[in-house]
Amino acid sequence: MDTIIQEPLSDSRAPITLIWLHGLGVDGSDFESFQKELSQFGSLDNVRMVLPTAPVRDITAYKLTMNGWYDLYSESLDEQEKEDIDGMNQSAEFINALIEEQRQKYPESPIWLGGFSQGAAMALIVGMSQIPPIAGIIALSGYVPNHPRFEELSDVAKQTPIYMAHGTLDPVISIAQARRSLETLNKAGATVEFFDYPMMHEICPDEVADIAEFINAHSEPTTANTSEE
């Protein structure tokens, strides 16, 4: 699986690492513009983006083969009677290895894990399984799947900050499903901030600005790199 690495746009602050998981049917390149959007709309320019691509697999619901973190058995989540737990766990192993690789390469760089749609579901599964913890989780236009991970959370998982956002007009994953997912996380004791926006299954500038604010709010103060002439 190919992984795209984008180095920070600026070295004025210590870098953070954001591993980003794309949605169903696309690849890591789908979010190549996200780094610049965080800088443009949120003045967050110290992000190292890590953009992996999910494996190609059969997606039962669509009778197609495409990039996906796990299989779907129904086009509607409300009608989904079972989950591809094996597929989720296989992808989780790959994402965990990627997190560890980034920890080894950049031990001083806080790691954030984020994703969109199916990628958001994986970000929640993996992000709430980390010991030591990651800096935070960003879950956009996604949901909480029926995975054993959410039956009982560790103290570390409960303290991991989560930014969860959704479009009120989303026709792919309904806002009702997103709010049920929020309820699941809250009942499990997770630390979640939930935002909704008047949009469909997409990302808007206000959302990107709020993500940057959330990351800054949960980041340790950093100092600018200076050098003496």
Catalytic residue numbers, as ranges? 117, 170, 201
H helices, E strands: number in the chain? 6, 9
Return d(Cα 71, Cα 25) in angstroms, integer: 11
The answer for residues whose C-beta is within 8 angstroms of residue 129's C-beta and 6 or more apart is: 92, 96, 149, 157
3-state secondary structure of 102: helix
**Cis bond leading into 132, ω under 30°?**
yes
Locus of tokens 């779907």? 72
- With H, G, I as helix, E, B as strand and everything else as coil, classify residue 54: coil
The single residue listed with the structure tokens 């990351």 is 215
Residue 132: burial class (beta carbons within 10 Å; 0-12, 13-18, 19+): exposed
Query: Token pair for residue 202?
Result: 């997409």
Decide: residue 128, CB within 10 A, 0-12 exposed, 13-18 middle, 19+ buried.
buried
Q: If you count them, how many residues does the chain have?
A: 229
